[in-house]
């Protein structure tokens, strides 16, 4: 939205074709979301008839009155909070251990930390389920949290490591030099520097956990997180627009932290002092 | 205590005993021993990779020697962490904390020691006054100029009243004019406070103008440790002769031809006389003849290079003001050179 940018020479400007294709791509990505939002207000409860015959807020009342939705929502929020907290603690510790030091096996350990995000969720889920069976662990709240923490940890770790690498070693040395113990250096010098990275990483992790379904299917046992609720709702389409209402709420719940994370991690002039 | 040199009856402020540090196969510090007296302004001079910074980091405690002992005020601190040493450092990049104000930066050393807020603010204010930044306490480091940041770093390092202040290339990031101002300011500050300053530099001019004594480092060893005057006038090795100021270093074979003595020597360009045609050399002077290779005008002086032998070219400095201009001295002209034998400093092999 920087309208004051100088006009670029014609050969650097995108052609009409490029622009149209970009627009088509964006519409393709976002139109279904708007359709979902639209049908949360429809008066027709069986088919996706376009345009909707009428608009109503009735389905919001229905959705808010249903206990199973509240239960799943509550569970998903709790799981996401717990997984995020776990990821923040462990991811930060891992980042501090691996950011600067070099030691034998460091590369392998780094890979092991980052791998869960590259691994297909179905494998992570399968492996966790097999693991749980082996040690006789009953699937439930904490197994969902553990499953989500595997990939949430990577998000936090990556954010913190990137930030730590930008901190000159001399800051830590200066702090020690002036008499600070390790915990004081962490509290007064490092934590303020990684705070926004933690916040951003935490919000992304929260959003990822909140809508995760594949790993959750394997680790949830009888628990029903919100994504699992959606999934089961597809096969039992009673009051179809209710699903859309919940979808709209979920979009809003996940959008806020992701937007915040985006703004917090933008390179800002303020923290760039030498 | 402005006089240079360690005195027998004083416990040294800093003592390194056979301190050795290697990084992998690279020996950064090769069994170096060093004694620095209380109140001394001491320079560690050398090119990059010579071991001077390693030496400073060992004194600060950021690094530990592989072998050897480090003593501060007579106390063995080899295994003492930096936060427990009464030594503070001014970093090359200043290492100011960007999320704190200038005053908070300066007060940091007091904060981590649990000093109350009001007392911290009072002392930080005093320190900022000392470095003439009294007005700037509420600013952030990035709102200051390079020279101001350096003075903040100085105030921050001095607030714990250390016995020893370490400075890593303190003037490296400043422009020429500011550098000269800071040289005077640092020297003045050190004399007022009377504490030991140890600074690392690769700039021989800085070392000569500020330090009481200078240790010249090369390849992890101290080549020579002396006062600036002795270092300049009596360099002991070819490295010191050419690194501290500029000098003609004449190897053994060439020395044999020029002086008849089988000993390498160094001579400063300004100590070589250029003889006018037919002018006799003064009594006892070493003489030789050669051909001018080039003439460079430097303002206050000019510098000629004279080829006196197939393999030997001597630099000769001519002061413009002393009537020693270079008119008529052009490339290819044949000239005679002469110097006092005792101006030629014999070098170790």
User: Which among A171, A173, A180 has CB closest to B112?
Assistant: A180
Please tell me the predicted confidence (pLDDT) of residue B325: 56
Give mean pLDDT, residues B55-71: 95
Q: Which residues of A touch B156 (CB under 8 A)?
A: 174, 178
B270-286 tens-digit pLDDT: 899 888 777 787 788 88
- CA–CA dist A20, A25 (Å, integer): 9
User: B interface toward A at CB cutoff 8 Å?
Assistant: 60-62, 81-83, 87-89, 91-99, 108-109, 111-113, 140-142, 156-157, 160
The alpha-carbon gap from B115 to the nearest alpha carbon of chain A, in Å, equals 12
- Asked whether A235 and A219 are in contact (CB, 8 A), the reply is no
Q: Which residues of A touch B144 (CB under 8 A)?
A: none
A2-11 tens-digit pLDDT: 455 667 777 7
Please tell me the predicted confidence (pLDDT) of residue A76: 92
CB contact under 8 A, A188 and B141: no
Among A218-222, A265-269, B41-45, which is the least confidently predicted range?
A: A265-269
- CA–CA dist B210, B31 (Å, integer): 27
Domains of chain A (ranges plus CATH)?
14-56 (no CATH), 66-265 (1.10.3720.10)
Q: Which of A104, A177, A190 to mutate to test the interface with B (most CBs of B within 10 A)?
A: A177
Give mean pLDDT, residues A9-18: 84
B84-114 tens-digit pLDDT: 999 999 999 999 999 999 999 999 999 999 9
User: Which among B96, B113, B141 has CB closest to A179?
Assistant: B113
Q: What interface predicted TM-score (ipTM) does this complex get?
A: 0.84
Q: Has residue B308 got a pLDDT over 80?
A: yes
Please tell me the predicted confidence (pLDDT) of residue A272: 41
CB contact under 8 A, A173 and B98: no
User: Which among B91, B99, B111 has CB closest to A170?
Assistant: B91
User: Which among A181, A184, A274 has CB closest to B93?
Assistant: A274
Peptide bond between residue A51 and the one before it cis (omega within 30 degrees of 0): yes
- CA–CA dist A177, A204 (Å, integer): 36
Q: Which residues of A touch B106 (CB under 8 A)?
A: none
- One DSSP character per residue, chain A reads --TTSPPPPGGGSPPHHHHHHHHHHHHHHHHHHHHHHHTTSBS-SSS--SS-S-B-SHHHHHHHH-HHHHHHHHHHHHHHHHHHHHHHHHHHHHHHHHHS---TTHHHHHHHHHHHHHS-HHHHHHHHHHHHHHTTPPPSHHHHHHHHHHHHHHHHHHHHHHHHHHS-HHHHHHHHHTT--HHHHIIIIIHHHHHHHHHHHHHHHHHHHHT--HHHHHH-TT---HHHHHHHHHHS-TTHHHHHHHHHHHHHHHHHHHHHHHHHHS--SGGG--
Domains of chain B (ranges plus CATH)?
14-243 (3.40.50.300), 263-346 (2.40.50.100)
∠A80-A83-A86 over CA atoms, to 5°?
145
Q: Which of B56, B59, B86, B112 to mutate to test the interface with A (most CBs of A within 10 A)?
A: B112
Measured between CA atoms, the residue of chain B closest to residue A168 is B95
User: Which among A168, A178, A180 has CB closest to B88?
Assistant: A178
A130-171 tens-digit pLDDT: 999 999 888 889 999 999 998 899 999 999 999 999 999 999
The alpha-carbon gap from A15 to the nearest alpha carbon of chain B, in Å, equals 42
A59-76 tens-digit pLDDT: 888 888 888 889 999 999
Strand order, beta sheet including B196-201? B87-90, B164-168, B196-201, B41-45, B213-218, B221-226
Beta pairing partners, B27: B22
Measured between CA atoms, the residue of chain A closest to residue B162 is A178
Measured between CA atoms, the residue of chain A closest to residue B63 is A173
Measured between CA atoms, the residue of chain A closest to residue B155 is A178
Q: Has residue A273 got a pLDDT over 50?
A: no
Measured between CA atoms, the residue of chain B closest to residue A178 is B109
CB contact under 8 A, A173 and B82: yes
- CA–CA dist A42, B79 (Å, integer): 75
Burial-class residue B206 by CB neighbours within 10 Å (0-12, 13-18, 19+): buried
- Asked whether B12 and B71 are in contact (CB, 8 A), the reply is yes
Q: Which residues of B touch A272 (CB under 8 A)?
A: 98, 142
Q: Which residues of B touch A271 (CB under 8 A)?
A: 98-99
CB contact under 8 A, B62 and A193: no
CB contact under 8 A, B88 and A271: no
Give mean pLDDT, residues B181-189: 89
Among B58-67, B133-142, B274-283, which is the least confidently predicted range?
A: B274-283
What pLDDT band is residue A267 in, cutting at 50, 70 and 90?
low
Q: Which residues of A touch B142 (CB under 8 A)?
A: 272-274
CB contact under 8 A, A189 and B97: yes
Measured between CA atoms, the residue of chain B closest to residue A186 is B112
CB contact under 8 A, A177 and B156: no
Q: Which residues fall within 8 angstroms of residue B166, CB to CB, at 6 or more apart? A: B56, B59, B60, B87, B88, B89, B90, B198, B199, B200
Collapsing DSSP to helix, strand or coil, B73 comes out as coil
∠A181-B59-B203 over CA atoms, to 5°?
125
A22-45 tens-digit pLDDT: 999 999 999 988 888 888 888 877
Collapsing DSSP to helix, strand or coil, B45 comes out as strand
Q: Which residues of A touch B109 (CB under 8 A)?
A: 178-179
Chain centroid, CA B306 distance in Å: 30
């Amino acid at each position: 939205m920087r309208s004051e940018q100088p006009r670029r020479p014609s050969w650097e400007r995108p052609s009409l074709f490029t622009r149209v294709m970009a627009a088509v791509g964006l519409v393709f990505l976002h139109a279904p979301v708007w359709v979902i939002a639209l049908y949360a207000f429809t008066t027709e409860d069986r088919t996706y008839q376009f345009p909707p015959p009428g608009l109503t807020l009735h389905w919001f009342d229905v959705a808010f009155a249903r206990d199973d939705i509240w239960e799943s929502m509550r569970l998903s929020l709790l799981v996401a909070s717990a997984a995020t907290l776990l990821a923040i603690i462990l991811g930060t510790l891992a980042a501090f251990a691996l950011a600067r030091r070099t030691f034998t096996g460091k590369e392998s350990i780094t890979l092991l930390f980052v791998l869960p995000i590259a691994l297909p969720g179905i494998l992570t889920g399968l492996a966790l389920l097999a693991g749980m069976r082996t040690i006789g662990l009953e699937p439930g709240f904490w197994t969902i949290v553990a499953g989500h923490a595997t990939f949430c940890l990577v998000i936090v770790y990556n954010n913190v490591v990137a930030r730590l690498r930008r901190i000159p070693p001399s800051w830590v040395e200066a702090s020690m030099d002036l008499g600070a113990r390790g915990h004081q250096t962490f509290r007064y010098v490092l934590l303020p520097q990684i705070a926004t990275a933690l916040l951003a990483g935490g919000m992304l992790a929260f959003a990822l956990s909140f809508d995760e379904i594949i790993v959750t299917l394997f680790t949830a046992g009888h628990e029903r997180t919100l994504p699992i609720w959606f999934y089961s709702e597809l096969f039992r389409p009673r009051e179809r627009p209710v699903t859309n209402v919940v979808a709209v709420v979920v979009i809003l719940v996940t959008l806020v932290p992701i937007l915040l994370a985006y703004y917090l991690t933008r390179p800002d002039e303020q923290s760039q002092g030498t | 205590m402005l006089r240079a040199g360690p005195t027998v009856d004083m416990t040294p402020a800093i003592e390194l005993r056979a301190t050795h540090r290697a990084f992998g196969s690279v020996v950064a510090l090769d069994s170096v021993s060093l004694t620095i007296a209380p109140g001394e302004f001491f320079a560690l001079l050398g090119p990059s990779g010579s071991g001077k910074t390693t030496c400073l980091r060992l004194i600060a405690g950021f690094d530990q020697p592989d072998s050897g002992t480090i003593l501060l005020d007579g106390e063995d601190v080899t295994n003492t962490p930096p936060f427990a040493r009464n030594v503070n450092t001014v970093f090359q990049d200043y290492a100011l904390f960007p999320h704190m104000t200038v005053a908070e930066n300066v007060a940091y050393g007091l904060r981590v020691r649990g000093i109350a807020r009001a007392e911290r603010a009072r002392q930080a204010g005093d320190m900022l006054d000392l470095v003439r930044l009294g007005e700037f306490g509420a600013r952030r480091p990035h709102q200051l100029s390079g020279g101001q940041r350096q003075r903040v770093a100085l105030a921050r390092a001095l607030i714990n009243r250390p016995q020893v202040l370490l400075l890593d290339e303190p003037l490296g990031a400043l422009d020429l004019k500011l550098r000269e101002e800071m040289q005077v300011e640092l020297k003045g500050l050190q004399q007022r406070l009377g504490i030991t300053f140890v600074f690392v530099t690769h700039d021989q001019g800085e070392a000569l103008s500020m330090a009481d004594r200078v240790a010249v480092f090369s390849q992890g060893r101290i080549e020579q440790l002396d006062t600036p005057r002795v270092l300049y006038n009596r360099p002991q090795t070819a490295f010191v002769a050419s690194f501290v100021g500029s000098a003609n270093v004449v190897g053994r074979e060439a020395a044999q031809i020029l002086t008849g003595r089988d000993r390498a020597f160094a001579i400063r360009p300004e100590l070589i006389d250029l003889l006018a045609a037919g002018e006799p050399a003064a009594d006892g002077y070493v003489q030789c003849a050669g051909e001018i290779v080039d003439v460079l005008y430097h303002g206050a002086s000019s510098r000629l290079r004279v080829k006196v032998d197939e393999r030997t070219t001597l630099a000769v400095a001519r002061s413009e003001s002393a009537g020693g201009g270079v008119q008529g001295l052009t490339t290819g002209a044949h000239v005679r050179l002469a110097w006092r034998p005792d101006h030629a400093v014999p070098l170790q092999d």
